[in-house]
Amino acid sequence: MDIRYFEEYGITAGITQVPDRSDVRRAEMAEELKARGGYLIRPCLTHGVNVYPITRQFLEGKPSYIEIEDCDGMVTDLPDVALTSTHGDCIPLYAYDPVKKVIGLAHAGWRGTVNGIAAVLALTMIKTYGCDPSDIRTVVGPGIGCCCFEVSEDVAREFIEKMPWCEDYIDEGAKEGKYMIDLKGINAELFKMFGITNTEISPVCTYEDENCWSYRRNGTDKRMLAYIKL
Ligand SMILES: [Zn+2]
């Protein structure tokens, strides 16, 4: 059973859970969309901060299943386009503007978080699509929680150097020289900086929850599929 978001707005958004596999679910979703003349976007994730607007012009001449190189986020206002990404501890960021009818999805691991992919997602919606931040709803989805995301000092230092304010989201770990980072809190804070205050933070920690695939827990190559479509 998927965890669903934005259901009250009548759009399709969510994330799959165990035993579903992202590759199987994505193939099913792509088939269904193809039959209806729609498109499915698969970003080739690199833990970067590239967020692409999916426009009619971009789709021209492309097949219904589209892979985008070096991409960790997408935004669109097209009703026939499904945005997808895969997750196994990294956090899915969902965004929806019910006024402008614009959706966004991004993949935020620690690298994407520290380099501000939430900010790039917000700015793409605001600058490229003219969304008013006060209209935008966001979800910081299931991912590894502060309870389990232990990092070494160099990672913690990178966060403090790039975003000094995120000190509030970093705790000393139980082990010497280790730190616990609240990636979900930092992403929600980034949204807030751009005026997006209507954010739901998922309580699900993928490392602890057996309904989630977790790379850190057992090194699995299986992933959960995050998706959003108008
Ligand atoms: Zn946890």
pLDDT score of 208 = 97
pLDDT score of 195 = 98
Residue 227 to residue 204: CA distance in whole angstroms: 17
Residue 203 to residue 82: CA distance in whole angstroms: 25
Distance from the alpha carbon of residue 226 to the mean position of ligand 1, in angstroms? 20
Return the bridge partners of 84, or none.
227
Task: Tell the burial category of 14 from Cβ atoms under 10 Å away from its Cβ (0-12, 13-18, 19+).
Answer: buried
Domain range summary for the chain, segments of one domain joined by +: 3-229
Say whether pTM exceeds 0.95. Answer: yes
Distance from the alpha carbon of residue 128 to the mean position of ligand 1, in angstroms? 36
Phi, psi of 94 (to 5 degrees): -110, 145
Where b means 16+ CB within 10 Å and e means fewer, 28-63 reads ebbeebeeeebbbbbbebebbbbbbbbeeebbeeee
Tell me the three state secondary structure of residue 172: strand
CB 51 within 8 A of CB 104: yes
Q: Which fold has domain 3-229?
A: CNF1/YfiH-like putative cysteine hydrolases (3.60.140)
Distance from the alpha carbon of residue 209 to the mean position of ligand 1, in angstroms? 8
pLDDT digits (tens, 9 = 90+) for 60-81: 999 999 999 999 999 999 999 9
Average pLDDT over residues 166-194: 97
Distance from the alpha carbon of residue 123 to the mean position of ligand 1, in angstroms? 30
